[in-house]
Amino acid sequence: MWRPTLMRLKESRWALICLVGCAVVAVTFLPQVVFWVERNGNWQGMYALAHTDELVYSAYLNSLMQGKPRRTNPYLPQQESGIQSSFSLQFLPPYAIYAGAYPFSTSAAIAFIFLTPLMAFIASFAVYWLLSEVTHNRKVAAVGVLIVLLCGVIASQNPFAIKDDYPVFAFLRRYVPAVPFPFFFTFCVSAWLSFKRKGMYAHLWALTAALSFVVLVYSYLFLWTAAIAWMFCFTVLWVLLRPNDRAQTLGRAGVICVLMIVALLPYSLMLSERSDQIGLEQSLALTHRPNLFQFTEILGVVLLFVLAYGLKRKGYKWTSPETLFAASCAITPFVVFNQQVLTGRSFQPFHYEQMILNYLLLVGFVVADQLLWQALTKYSLWFTALAITIGVALALKTATVASVPNLAVDQAVPILNKLQSENVRDGQSRSVLFHDPLLALSAPTTASTPILWSQFMSLYGGISTAESTERLFQYFYYLGQNEEGFKKAIKGVLLYRAALFGSRRVYSNITQEFEPVSDEEIRDQVSAYSAYIHGFSSVQACRWPLSHVVVTTGYSFDYSNLDRWYQRDKGETLSGSVVYRVQLMKGLCSRVESY
């Protein structure tokens, strides 16, 4: 009875991909399930974090859901920031999520929860489609999906590295690269079919590749630039090693490239409206230095040696389309990590390693195996079990690592709802000071309440370096920190140091040109802070009026600076924090305006 059913499943393409897709969904959704179990009926509606960066994206999504314009900063009270940021440039994913969530009136957090299984399944389908076309084997494609998507982190970094900052299922980081990720592989398979097919079908697939590229351009920088690099490698290899197809290949590649350039023209105009300061904040490095030792480059060399050795022993031709595809996957990391030799610009290269090149390399290894050994065919059950086991282990690791921040942001939801309702009732949009930077980061996901200071608020634009620094100074001033406390904080806490000096001066993995912050620079900032707090006046106090101060229970602060300018109530203990309602001293700001 069961044997015919299993045979029909194996013979049905749709049943097979649905089965594999459901397996990927089940494994990658485990962290959310564990989070629900841990909350044990006290869940307040937040999603389980894959990485704290997701809070930046859910904050922007919530601001769109609240009716704010595309060029907005969810941490500031004003509606329009006036300049382009990476969020306003990469607008397709948030608007697509908003459109899907609108009929159900769901929050940004709930939309993120549903996004994970949806994009996990769609990504499974995209990778399966690519592998089935290149390997011509459905079983290999199905096993390959599990290996590529569940084990991608293993190919993104040195397994012996002490520090591990990468999300284990990076392709599902919301909302990017989660939403555009399948379109990268749709682009690859469309380009593949365009080169392989003849006549009108070839041009139709070229158009499909171009349309996929359009989605990538207005979704995520690191995916569309990686797509260009792969397309370049694939085309060059095909042209050089298949001279009989040269004219046909150049024609089809030309069609795709022309359409890609057309897609980039509006993007270039939008990019010209972007602030140079945002580039500095996001660690744009001006360098021509080559980068030859990234982990994915090392794996690329391994894949090329595997192909060369195997093909020599098997007598397989280098000119076969399948070989060229696998080789293009191996070479792409070198193009991506060394384009700055010509362009002079390098932008957070680690994102390529964890978000796309690792998955592309694993696709290349799956294709190479099918060409040379067919191990995935012979031992499909073993590889399936291994991939799922690794995936489950990684999912449980994520749930464990993220347990504390998940609890903190979920517990804070009642606080944020309270702040939102009180500000709406008062008809004001005054700022909130959060002692805990994580709560400040997560607040705009739930409430459209301005924040005095948050570590990533400058990424959206609408705020200068000087203003960001002053907001941080004011944050420490109101919490009663003297010069010594300020110095201890910026020396001991990376996010405070990054807020003052930029991420590229603090995190060595995001730029080749890493220059750590010197003691002299820290002393200069301490001196600047000292001058600021000793010269603090009603002008500074009225610049960003506060409505509430939220302090984590168990911490004690000297509120004398705050109480000098504000009337503060006794505070309300709520969800692990003390919430103080504050009001500027009567007439304080009117005296400032009279000057």
pLDDT at 78: 73
pLDDT at 282: 55
**H or E element: which one contains 382?**
helix 380-401
Query: What is d(CA 169, CA 49) in angstroms, rounded to the nearest whole number?
Result: 11
Question: Do residue 25 and residue 129 come from a single domain?
Answer: yes
Beta strand extents in 493-593 (DSSP E only): 546-552, 566-568, 572-574, 577-584
Half-sphere exposure of 367 (CA within 13 A, CB side): 29
Peptide bond into 177 cis (omega under 30): yes
pLDDT at 283: 65
| Average pLDDT score over residue span 352-369 | 96
What percentage of the chain has pLDDT greater than the value 70?
93
Mean pLDDT of the chain: 90
pLDDT at 13: 72
pLDDT at 1: 45
Last residue within a domain, chosen from 366, 401, 436: 401
- The structure tokens 């590529």 sit at 148
In this predicted model, what pLDDT tens digit does every residue of 363-410 receive, in sequence order? Answer: 999 999 999 989 999 999 999 999 999 999 999 999 999 999 999 999
Q: What is the DSSP letter of 458?
A: G
| Domain assignment present for 235 | no
Question: Do residue 337 and residue 444 come from a single domain?
Answer: no
Question: Do residue 477 and residue 546 come from a single domain?
Answer: yes
Task: Using the predicted structure, report yes or no on whether residue 39 has a pLDDT greater than 80.
Answer: yes
| Average pLDDT score over residue span 158-181 | 81
| Domain assignment present for 293 | yes
| Domain assignment present for 147 | yes
pLDDT at 279: 52
Q: Hey, is 451 helix, strand or coil?
A: strand
Q: Which of 404, 263, 240, 408 is CA-nearest to residue 328?
A: 240
Confidence tier at 563 by pLDDT (50, 70, 90): very high
| Domain assignment present for 3 | no
| Domain assignment present for 224 | no
Contacts 24+ apart (CB under 8 A), 8-17: 10/139, 13/132, 13/138, 16/138, 16/139, 16/142, 17/124, 17/125, 17/128, 17/142, 17/145
Q: Of the ranges 82-86, 94-98, 272-276, which one carries the lowest mean pLDDT score? A: 272-276
Confidence tier at 357 by pLDDT (50, 70, 90): very high
| Average pLDDT score over residue span 589-593 | 65
Question: Do residue 17 and residue 143 come from a single domain?
Answer: yes
Task: Using the predicted structure, report yes or no on whether residue 162 has a pLDDT greater than 50.
Answer: no
Q: Which of 59, 60, 75 is CA-nearest to residue 431?
A: 75
Q: Of the ranges 98-102, 118-122, 423-427, which one carries the lowest mean pLDDT score? A: 423-427
| Domain assignment present for 541 | yes
Query: What is d(CA 210, CA 220) in angstroms, rounded to the nearest whole number?
Result: 15
In this predicted model, what pLDDT tens digit does every residue of 234-275 receive, in sequence order? Answer: 999 999 999 988 888 899 899 999 999 999 999 999 988 876
Question: Do residue 288 and residue 384 come from a single domain?
Answer: yes
Question: Do residue 106 and residue 42 come from a single domain?
Answer: yes
Question: Do residue 437 and residue 391 come from a single domain?
Answer: no
Confidence tier at 313 by pLDDT (50, 70, 90): confident
| Domain assignment present for 253 | no
In this predicted model, what pLDDT tens digit does every residue of 492-519 receive, in sequence order? Answer: 999 999 999 988 888 877 777 788 999 9
Domain residues for the domain of 539 are 412-594
| Average pLDDT score over residue span 432-457 | 94
| Domain assignment present for 590 | yes
Supply the pTM of this predicted model: 0.94
Last residue within a domain, chosen from 376, 401, 426: 401
- Asked whether 57 and 94 are in contact (CB, 8 A), the reply is yes
Question: Do residue 173 and residue 25 come from a single domain?
Answer: yes
Task: Using the predicted structure, report yes or no on whether residue 224 has a pLDDT greater than 50.
Answer: yes
Question: Do residue 556 and residue 529 come from a single domain?
Answer: yes
Query: What domain count does the chain have?
Result: 2
Question: Do residue 394 and residue 425 come from a single domain?
Answer: no
* DSSP per position, 314-348: HT--TTSHHHHHHHHHHHHHHHHHHTHHHH-EEE-
- Asked whether 365 and 310 are in contact (CB, 8 A), the reply is no
Question: Do residue 434 and residue 365 come from a single domain?
Answer: no
Question: Do residue 391 and residue 423 come from a single domain?
Answer: no
Last residue within a domain, chosen from 382, 401, 420: 401
pLDDT at 594: 46
